[in-house]
Structure 1
């Protein structure tokens, strides 16, 4: 919850500048994840930055943790087709408007490298015109619950 609180504060500021509603909810349990705090923070911020970048004013971004400890970042942005989803973690890949939005095409490639180092699975679901959902699934042996 500490890294989520930290990143939510930063992302909320970015979202407010674009008049995007940033919705978070505290987790029911406090999950302890073994890993490098700064790298996990960077991983989350890279995905949150993309969510803000590809979401228009007046729309929303949802950021929460499931009861299984997965972290979900869901936006109401422009979305992607399945072809684009299959390439987003490649270095220098920029989908359509990425160039216009100041994307270098490196953010999600770096996020993926951090995830691999921490054995975190990144699941992506996206629909053009509806938005994108990133779900971070942490390895069971690196997560514990504190009540």
Structure 2
């Protein structure tokens, strides 16, 4: 939370990191019979890999948690110019505008039905990590139709 700069930077395969995070959550998505539609370019990235993996685990974990059984989650990773974009889209319950406007605030939980599943710190931490990478995160969602998280990162961290 109080970290101002990223330390322990290494170069790694970003697409491989995201795949590993999906595998890390295999128990959750197989229990709900969720499939993945993966469309990722091979991209090398330099930052603190352990820290950045928290971003993917949190966003993909939420996508699984809020997706109905038998649905799919789309994971897209591509580079345009010097900007890397990752999009994680579910077909879950979605969020209303009030929830979207508070989603990155500490301790905020939009869906009280899942309050016992977390502490409301995940997405604020995700936002902080992305900002430390000089990136941006935004969310597009429609209640009842699903959610799309878009993370943009500069090519040179």
Return the TM-score normalized by structure 1: 0.86
1:12–1:22 CA contact under 8 A, matched in 2: no
Name stretches of at least 5 consecutive residues in structure 2 with no aligned partner: 1-14
Are positions 1:35 and 2:50 aligned together? no
Q: Please tell me the root mean square deviation across aligned C-alpha atoms, in Å.
A: 1.7
Output aligned runs, 1:8-47, within 5 Å: 8-27=22-41, 30-47=42-59
Give the distance between the partners of 1:48 and 1:101, measured in 2 at CA: 18
Secondary structure of 1:23 counterpart:
strand
2:37–2:74 CA contact under 8 A, matched in 1: yes
- When residues 116 and 98 of structure 1 are mapped into structure 2, their CA distance, relative to the original with a 3 A threshold, is farther
Number of equivalenced pairs? 140
Q: CA deviation at 1:103?
A: 2.4
- When residues 101 and 45 of structure 1 are mapped into structure 2, their CA distance, relative to the original with a 3 A threshold, is same
Between 1:90-99 and 1:33-42, the stretch displaced more is 90-99
2:92–2:144 CA contact under 8 A, matched in 1: yes
Return the TM-score normalized by structure 2: 0.81
1:51–1:75 CA contact under 8 A, matched in 2: yes
2:130–2:153 CA contact under 8 A, matched in 1: no
2:109–2:115 CA contact under 8 A, matched in 1: no
1:82 counterpart residue number = 97
2:93–2:145 CA contact under 8 A, matched in 1: yes
